[in-house]
Amino acid sequence: MFSQTRCDRCEAPESSFSLCHLQTHFHHVLAVCEQVACGRRCLSKEACEGQFSRMLQLCKVTKHLFISNARSVCSDELIQQEAVTLCINVSKQQPFPSAGIKKLQVPIYDDIPNEDLYGHFDRCADAIQKEANRGGRSVVYCKNGRSRSATVCIAYLMKHRKLTLTDALQVGDV
């Protein structure tokens, strides 16, 4: 987990947080991502899981970026309602929606912690930015919409919005 000014894991100052730092402490960032993935701080991991299991939704990160889970993204109605033009699937197993939109797959297994997500940060962040530049909207998702997808969204915010890791973890509709 990360405090306001230092990494709680290695005590690195916030100014040194980078995408590489994010990958190094990926498993520790997940706990924070799981609580903020739905666009607001939840009281617990269970509250977040309950939020996603009760309803289908795309959670707004920015005007042009949403985060969600595979079940919600496969709702063509939701994709059309939010005018999503690019789906980034951060998994090998989860399906894409059937809607005729652009698709990008990041072939990461849902249950293998040693997968190299870092190697995909630039490609995903650049695709999100390119879509936003042309007025489109992207959704990033994985099985539950809490860890890999949240990390890709954070990488985008750090690279293209120039946010620190701490600030990126606090984002909700910037």
Nearest to 169, CA basis, from 69, 34, 54, 49 = 34
Please tell me which residue in 33, 124, 142, 153 is annotated as part of the active site: 142
Contacts of 18 (CB under 8 A, 6+ apart): 158
In the chain, which residue ranges form alpha helices assigned H by DSSP? Answer: 19-24, 26-36, 45-54, 70-73, 76-81, 121-133, 148-160, 165-169
Q: Clarify whether 142 is annotated catalytic.
A: yes
Sign, Cα dihedral of 127, 132, 133, 136: positive
Active site residues: 142
